[in-house]
Chain A
Amino acid sequence: MATIKMTVNGRERSGEAEGRTLLVDFLRQELNLTGTHVGCDTSQCGACVVHVNGEAVKACTMFAAEAEGAEVVTVEGMANPDGSLSVIQQAFQDHHGLQCGFCTPGMIMSAAALLKDNPKPTEAEVRHYLEGNICRCTGYHNIVKAIMAASGQDVSAVAAE
């Protein structure tokens, strides 16, 4: 066991980790930040996406020790400072971009990373960017729509509801 320190959602945090402790387990069990989820063991579903030093990574495919000293942002750190939903979060609610909510934290983190690099993505770009985030509930329709809406684009023409 070693003590690992990192900045999580703007706060200095520390906790105990073995060499084999994954960042996601450290966040969930040591820091009690259970918004980051684990949906697979092959680094594909993306339910565990967090930002490390400003980049989206899969917290299930990185050891806690590798995040020593890093700036980590999880879904718990994504709301506005006053606690209200951020633009992306609000767009997901407005456009029904989530159902069971399990993949949602990863979707929010990936969407935020996408819009940082590409503020007005096309539908195809959004779909391609979400290659590493699996949702089983929504058929992706409203996720794609929500992300495009969050980027300020008019999605009223998108098919049906």
Chain B
Amino acid sequence: MPKDTGIGASTKRREDVRFLTGRGKYTDDIQLTGQAHAAFVRSQVAHGEILSIDTSDAEKMPGVLAIFTGEDFVDVGGNPAGWLINSRDGEPMKEPKRPVLAHGKVRHVGDAYAAVIAETAEQARDAAEAIAADIKELPAVTNMAQALAGAPFVHDEIATNQCFDWGWIEDNRAATDEAIRNAPHVTTLELVNNRLVPNAMEPRASTGDYDPGTGDYTLYTTSQNPHLTRLLISAFVLGIPENKLRVIAPDVGGGFGSKIYHYGEEALVLAAAKKLGRPVRWTATRSESFLTDAHGRDHVTKIELACEKDGTFIAFRTETMANVGAYLSNFSTATPTFLHGTLMAGNYTVPNVYVNVKAVFTNTAPVDAYRGAGRPEATYSIERVIDKAARELGLDPIAIRRKNFVKPDQFPFTSAAGLEYDIGNYDALMDKLEELADFGGFAERRKASEAAGKLRGLGINSYIEACGIAPSNLVGILGSRVGLYDAATVRVNATGNISVMVGAHSHGQGHETAFPQVVGEMLGIDPASVDIVHGDTSKIPFGMGSYGSRSLAVCGSAVVRATEKVIAKAKKIAAHMLEASEADVEFAEGNFTVAGTDKSVSFGEVALKAYIPHNFPLDSVEPGLEETAFYDPANFTYPAGGYACEVEVDPETGKVTVERFTACDDFGNVINPMIVSGQVHGGIGQGIGQALLENTVYDENGQLTSASYMDYAMPRADDLPFYTVDHSCVTPCTHNPLGVKGCGEAGAIGSPPAVVNAVIDALQSGGHNVTHIDMPVSPSRVWAAMNNA
């Protein structure tokens, strides 16, 4: 029987009520008294030298309060990259300064070089248009191969356009090369992992506020991690002391990575608020979001799979160019390296892996982590080349994967890409997939499709990801400038209800419902009496935020540790109340009981006592009942899964429709199955979007030609089917207290290769010798592939 409360229950989300009634409070919903509005002047050209900026006309426009240009920020710091990557030769990566406003040069369309503050948003936009800038257009580069070949240079001081040339694991390079040279069969695939725009439905927005009486700043912003934003603004950009800067991320309308990062607009509204002594608001239009949100993916990869004729894998070798855009966004250097290269062994016992990644500057928007971040790129490369190899060798695509899976008795297993997988059971996932996806019925379904003039294909995929980001010790070795622990405070109020302050930020993930399920279960109380507080640096102890499927695995573990501390202290108080030895007091189902007796006090009674400490053993116990824990994980977690997709292809138009989609995931233990399924659904939707619809295209001049929903194809309800998802295959994570692994990114990681494998299978079944089509597998591309094959 499913539980109806606590861990494992599909508790309905409490946050839904405010969202369903229009009472959510997103950044743009919060109106501060005296609020002024900012508008940015953005480059129309991809690359240009700023010769002059004349603001005189704009200054005279109605409602204008202040104008800023890059000149105003030359003395403050740049927005940094969070990870320092070294090239194969030991050379540190190139990290050009990323200023609040462009100064000297603009480097991508949308690069802001001035800002106007006015009484209303429209007045600010009117005046922004009146700023006359003389920008000498320079040749631009958007293609990575061209960028590596020479001029033009995005940054004059980086006369290669290369950020780094990274090898993983460099010591394994020679052995991998040798293994591939001697292999009986080598399958090679060149592919593009298409550039995506994250497109959280809430556009970015920020409001800066400054109190001249105290010198305190407040920033309301669309962030997945307010503490990280505060840290970056304080330590790197504006130098505002952390204790003078409060960052509030209220309700946030989706992030998917794009709201992890600190952006210049946040610094600008703070500086403007200080200058004017008034709150200053900026809200992006969708058009601005397209031009300036950090994009995702954008890899060009050549992968080789060496294997025996029976399909036993010998080696994977990849060469990848990863676009970082014009500037380094905060996680941009980690995404193509440690979130990608380390996963290049997949779920397999392959003995040799070597990954080379060249990160390339181009005159495009910055590229950074987007749902999955590096792991979708790794999975796509691996799982596409395996499918191609199976076809070349005449092997069943499931059998070739099973042959190479890490087996349950091999865990903990150190992969050839260097990660230690703690636990998993990939065969069990594939068994479940075969059952739920009804592979047995596929031949009949294909026959029915063919009778209707359609081609039908079945594609499968197995993935592994590294989540629960991340052990600070390990990421420190790998170049991270920060630690990736998280924190929680459990505050038991005198009347027994509880506030839990968490570092994770919920922007759709349902933390306000799921975390209380954990605390309620541990304390034996109704989860409804537990409230989650998040998204405000003045209220929560610290936190690194939500991304990398880390909220529950890392912050949830901190919640457990803090709750354990609360129980430990409460036990001391209970022992005093029960006049018993602490060692004799047991805690179960919300009651402290002296073992072997009926003497008992409830958790609520203990809470009250903690705050009314009459006759309290003050020498051994402090009043109050509030505990904080910081949790730093011992390892990544390793969710894994098997996915199957069935498509129909209209051979006349090339249009692909997804007919069936099945996802079997091992997320370890599950706190709220309803929420977990929802996370998988959303990831699949985005993954199918990447596979079939979404494409981010810059022309050779650096203009973004897919800059609105008129040209960027967002998945709609009628593009997608109902999905079958399952998370009943459970191997609990071995190193965190809840045994959880994280579920937020899996769908986006596991689905693209399944879709493309299915399309290739369909085309092959129709006699078209098509071995690969780059994503998005759009109708025109499928039609062209059929007609060229």
Direct contact of A and B (CB under 8 A): yes
B29 touches A34 (CB 8 A): yes
A101 touches B15 (CB 8 A): yes
Q: List 5 A-B contacts (CB under 8 A).
A: A41-B286, A102-B201, A103-B253, A134-B709, A137-B254
B20 touches A92 (CB 8 A): yes
Partner of B725, one of A34, A41, A93, A161: A161
Partner of A139, one of B24, B684, B724: B684
The interface of chain B, by Cβ under 8 A from chain A, is: 10, 12-13, 15-26, 28-29, 31, 122, 199-203, 251-254, 256, 285-287, 507-510, 673-678, 681-686, 688, 708-710, 714-718, 720, 722-726, 747
What A residues does B29 contact at CB under 8 A?
Answer: 28, 34
Check if A44 is an interface residue, CB within 8 A of chain B.
Answer: yes
What A residues does B684 contact at CB under 8 A?
Answer: 139
What A residues does B681 contact at CB under 8 A?
Answer: 138-142
Q: Measured between C-beta atoms, what is the minimum distance from B207 to chain A in Å?
A: 14
Q: Measured between C-beta atoms, what is the minimum distance from B364 to chain A in Å?
A: 21
B725 touches A123 (CB 8 A): no
What B residues does A136 contact at CB under 8 A?
Answer: 199-201, 254, 256, 682, 685-686, 714
Check if A20 is an interface residue, CB within 8 A of chain B.
Answer: yes
Check if A154 is an interface residue, CB within 8 A of chain B.
Answer: no
The 7 closest A-B pairs by CB, nearest first: A35-B22, A139-B685, A102-B253, A101-B19, A161-B677, A100-B508, A99-B508
A138 touches B20 (CB 8 A): no
- Which residue in chain A gives the minimum CB-CB distance to B506? A100
A159 touches B202 (CB 8 A): no
CA distance A136 to B15 in the complex (A): 18
With contacts A34-B29, A139-B683, A141-B722 taken as known, whether A100 is within 8 angstroms of B21 at the C-beta atoms is: no
- Which residue in chain B gives the minimum CB-CB distance to A83? B21
CA distance A50 to B782 in the complex (A): 39
Partner of A101, one of B16, B688, B720: B16
Check if A144 is an interface residue, CB within 8 A of chain B.
Answer: yes
Check if A66 is an interface residue, CB within 8 A of chain B.
Answer: no
CA distance A139 to B683 in the complex (A): 7
B22 touches A33 (CB 8 A): yes
Partner of A134, one of B688, B714, B726: B714
CA distance A33 to B254 in the complex (A): 21
With contacts A35-B21, A75-B21, A127-B718 taken as known, whether A138 is within 8 angstroms of B678 at the C-beta atoms is: yes
Q: Which of B20, B25, B252 gathers the greatest number of chain A CB atoms within 10 Å?
A: B20
What A residues does B10 contact at CB under 8 A?
Answer: 161
With contacts A89-B21, A101-B16, A161-B673 taken as known, whether A143 is within 8 angstroms of B201 at the C-beta atoms is: no
CA distance A102 to B713 in the complex (A): 19
- Which residue in chain A gives the minimum CB-CB distance to B287? A41
CA distance A78 to B23 in the complex (A): 12
What A residues does B23 contact at CB under 8 A?
Answer: 35, 76
Q: Measured between C-beta atoms, what is the minimum distance from A1 to chain B in Å?
A: 11
New contact pairs (6) apart from A39-B203, A76-B22, CB-CB < 8 Å: A93-B20, A100-B201, A101-B20, A101-B251, A139-B723, A161-B678
Check if A151 is an interface residue, CB within 8 A of chain B.
Answer: no
A99 touches B510 (CB 8 A): yes
- Which residue in chain A gives the minimum CB-CB distance to B12? A93
The interface of chain A, by Cβ under 8 A from chain B, is: 18, 20, 28-29, 32-42, 44-45, 47, 74-76, 78-79, 85, 89, 92-94, 96, 98-105, 108, 123-124, 126-128, 130-131, 133-145, 158-161
What A residues does B726 contact at CB under 8 A?
Answer: 160
Q: Measured between C-beta atoms, what is the minimum distance from B276 to chain A in Å?
A: 20
With contacts A42-B286, A100-B508 taken as known, whether A105 is within 8 angstroms of B720 at the C-beta atoms is: no
Partner of B21, one of A39, A40, A45, A78: A78
B510 touches A39 (CB 8 A): no
Q: Which of B22, B251, B256 gathers the greatest number of chain A CB atoms within 10 Å?
A: B22
B682 touches A138 (CB 8 A): yes
CA distance A135 to B19 in the complex (A): 14
CA distance A74 to B22 in the complex (A): 8
- Which residue in chain A gives the minimum CB-CB distance to B254? A100
CA distance A104 to B23 in the complex (A): 11
CA distance A95 to B390 in the complex (A): 40
B12 touches A44 (CB 8 A): no
With contacts A34-B22, A100-B507, A136-B686 taken as known, whether A161 is within 8 angstroms of B674 at the C-beta atoms is: yes
Partner of B678, one of A41, A42, A99, A105: A99
What B residues does A126 contact at CB under 8 A?
Answer: 717
Partner of B12, one of A78, A94, A100, A104: A94
Q: Measured between C-beta atoms, what is the minimum distance from B507 to chain A in Å?
A: 5
A98 touches B20 (CB 8 A): yes
What A residues does B683 contact at CB under 8 A?
Answer: 139
CA distance A89 to B19 in the complex (A): 10
What B residues does A128 contact at CB under 8 A?
Answer: 717-718
CA distance A44 to B203 in the complex (A): 14
A96 touches B678 (CB 8 A): yes
With contacts A45-B709, A140-B685 taken as known, whether A100 is within 8 angstroms of B678 at the C-beta atoms is: no
B716 touches A130 (CB 8 A): yes
Q: Which of A37, A92, A139, A143 gathers the greatest number of chain B CB atoms within 10 Å?
A: A139
Q: Measured between C-beta atoms, what is the minimum distance from B648 to chain A in Å?
A: 15
CA distance A92 to B22 in the complex (A): 14
- Which residue in chain B gives the minimum CB-CB distance to A147? B717
What B residues does A39 contact at CB under 8 A?
Answer: 201-203, 253, 286
With contacts A94-B12, A131-B717, A140-B685 taken as known, whether A41 is within 8 angstroms of B708 at the C-beta atoms is: yes
